[in-house]
Chain A
Amino acid sequence: RVSSDGKPEKFQPPPKPVIIDKQKQREERRFLSPEFIPPRGRTDPLKFYIERKDMIQRRKVFNIPEFYVGSVLAVTTADPYANEKASRFVGICIQRGGKGLGATFVLRNVIEDQGVEMCYELYNPRIQAIEVLKLEKRLDDNLMYLQDALPEYSTFDVNMKPVSHLSHEEVPVNKLQVRMKPKPWSKRWERPKYNIKGIKFDLPEKKMKEAQKWSQPWLEFDMLREYDTSKIEDKIWKEVSEGL
């Protein structure tokens, strides 16, 4: 080949092939359910160890899938008063609370123009099945503000088909900014205490500045509030993966 100058072009080696080792990616992405991490306190670690044994035992018999706040789940519970002795509820997970065997998650849906929130316990033996219809994360850990958002953001089809998600890919983060109903809200979501990133605030600048008056910028530097869970998580991850 001849370049525009007229001199012969320097030899360009071909681009090196990039090898994506999918097995390594799968190992790197590990998910430890948040209820396994013990809270900070003066309780004997033996109590958490025994609780974890029970939790692992339950997970061996009944599969609790990986899910985050913001994913859409369908839960079938055994109900003595229902027609087929089982009731199914579909909704978006807005909150995951509790530690140990009492861990709960709250699902929200709007059924026939009525908002419904159901709080389920993860380890309740009456739960027959938990299916993840759509696995995704949101910008916040707590989506309680959906109660004050427009109902279209909380409606999910009860007969929704599960959206497939490959196990080695990273969990997609939905950067949706939700539009709210006019004020008053159940909580003042614009305040920095809630640290919400997923709302499109249409409030005037003055109100947003006034809300910043309640900010506590020293909180992130408070050393007594630090709780480093990395080593605890490693130990618990080893225990859990050996058990399952």
Chain B
Amino acid sequence: MMPIWTKSGKKHAVTLLKVQDCHVLRYISKEESGGKTSKLLVGGKNASPFFKSESAMEIFKEAGVPRKQKVTTFNVTDDAIIKPGTPLYAAHFRPGQFVDVTAKTIGKGFQGVMKRWGFKGQPASHGQTKTHRRPGAISTNKAAKVYRGKKMPGKMGNIYRTSFGLKVWRINTKHDIIYVNGSVPGHTNCLVKVKDSKLPTYKDCNKNPPFPTYFADGDEKLPEDLYDEEIFQFTDPSVTY
């Protein structure tokens, strides 16, 4: 995570996400998947092909791509279908766009009710006998049962969570890095899924994105760094009022 300053002098914290060897693996049509939209399978970071069975490796062989560590599905409209085997780059996103980021949160193991659900616990002194971090009462007398989903101790973390509506500040096309506002679930160097934001406030925010995606061998030659309009670039002189 890094600080970033705007032209008005405000500071924002920014997370760096690297797009590492992403390829489209397979196209699944609407009828095949049985959903409302067609799907595209996308694979992430390259990994060794020796630790998986032959049947799992079939998808990668069809697409002609080395084995990927993570495979995710994206629901896609029919006019945005991409041929399997095309590489995807960070320039697929543009600065000023809003994005949702999904990842597995840091696993904390088996945790008590105070850390996991934020319960207040009990006082440290004034006669409490062996009760300082316990949940206390778990149901009422009339209910005569414990409801499903009652907050209790258990394994915390290591589940998929999404941060919605994160602004993209800057894109580095040379190293394929996206600078995303705020924090993102997951530990450092973990695998992360980045999608266009589904929030209704940001529905009309994507002004002319590269559609269906940014092709590296196309005619468009992008500069090494793409900045949002409000970012203070370090080539400019200091901010004045």
Contacts and interface: CB of A to CB of B under 8 A. Distances in A.
Interface of A: 41-44, 46-47, 50-51, 54, 57-58, 61-62, 78-80, 85, 100-102, 121, 123-128
A101 B240 CA distance: 20
B3 A50 contact: no
Contact of B11 (A41, A43, A46, A124): A124
A202 B116 CA distance: 49
A138 B139 CA distance: 63
A127 B241 contact: no
A43 B16 CA distance: 11
A43 B188 contact: yes
Contact of B2 (A80, A101, A128): A101
A47 B18 CA distance: 10
Given A101-B3, A125-B9, A44 B189 contact: yes
Contact of B240 (A43, A78, A100): A78
Given A61-B234, A78-B241, A123-B3, 13 more contacts: A44-B18, A44-B188, A46-B175, A47-B2, A62-B237, A78-B9, A78-B240, A85-B241, A121-B3, A124-B5, A124-B11, A125-B239, A126-B9
Q: Which of B16, B234, B240 counts the most chain A CB atoms within 10 A?
A: B234
A61 B234 CA distance: 8
B173 to A, nearest CB: 13
Contacts of B236: 61, 125
B238 interface: yes
B188 A78 contact: no
Given A47-B16, A51-B2, A54-B234, A85 B240 contact: yes
Contacts, number: 63
B193 to A, nearest CB: 19
Contact of B175 (A50, A54, A78, A80): A50
A232 B45 CA distance: 28
A61 B5 contact: no
Going nearest first, the 3 A-B pairs with the smallest beta carbon separation are A57-B234, A58-B234, A80-B241
Contact of A127 (B11, B177, B238): B238
Contacts of A126: 5, 9, 238-239
Contacts of A128: 238, 240
14 contacts: A41-B188, A44-B18, A50-B177, A51-B2, A57-B235, A61-B238, A78-B238, A78-B239, A101-B2, A123-B3, A123-B234, A124-B5, A125-B239, A127-B238
A126 B238 CA distance: 6
